[in-house]
Amino acid sequence: MEPVTAELIERIDACIEALFAPSDPVLARNIADAQAAGLPSFQVSPNQGRLLYLLAKLIGARRVLEIGTLGGYSATWLARALPADGLLVTLELNPRHAEVARRSLERAAITPRLDLRVGPAADSLRDLIRSAVPPFDLVFLDADKSGYVEYLGLVLELVRPGALILADNVIRHGLVIDPSPGDPNDAGAKAYNEAIASDPRLESLILPIVRARVDGLATSMVR
């Protein structure tokens, strides 16, 4: 049996991607535009994008909330899973990132309604709560890990029973096992994992995401 090496993991990931999440002109243009604009390459992998799409489809999501837009790559995957009368609300702190994402999503001719809000995520979430918006079916967190626990508390006021709450990068390549005192994101991811494991309102599990390094997608269903 071939030993499990980083090279083997990359080959397996590439094989799965070629079968189930091949790129298309819209997604390729999204990544190219984000790179040209100097955005960090923090977007989800194609396989993760496909997973987000399938999870949204499986629960028949009509209203999706994303925290952390970046260049709009994951937003494109999520929007593709929604019906024409669906709604994607996506929150982004950085105005420059938001503008790149807005242009990209407009070029992608996203059919569902898009509501891209710029500013601190906690403030935008409180605005949604104050506005008494209809509940969301799926929430995807992919922002500062140090804020995940705070976002979770707010998100739980915005979802329906049976909704999915997904959070990316919760293993941090294993650093959550023994977080560095100087890295609030490692500590934040660990605190989030502990919060969803103990919250009686949620049923949760972390799905391992193996690419060049190990990470995880926290998956919670609201009771």
Stretches where the chain sits below pLDDT 50 are none
Q: What is the pLDDT of residue 188?
A: 93
CA distance 209 to 189: 15
How do strand 214-222 and strand 159-167 relate by DSSP bridges? Answer: antiparallel
- pTM, rounded to two decimals: 0.95
Q: Which residues contact 85 (CB under 8 A, 6 or more apart)?
A: 62, 112, 113
Q: What is the pLDDT of residue 209?
A: 84
CA distance 32 to 112: 23
CATH for the 6-222 domain, from 1.20.1250.20, 3.40.50.150, 3.90.650.10, 3.90.105.10? 3.40.50.150
Q: What is the pLDDT of residue 182?
A: 78
CB atoms within 10 A of CB 50: 17
Q: What is the pLDDT of residue 4?
A: 76
Q: What is the pLDDT of residue 5?
A: 83
CA distance 77 to 140: 12
CA count, 13 A, side-chain hemisphere, 35? 7
85: buried, middle or exposed (CB in 10 Å: 19+, 13-18, 0-12)?
exposed
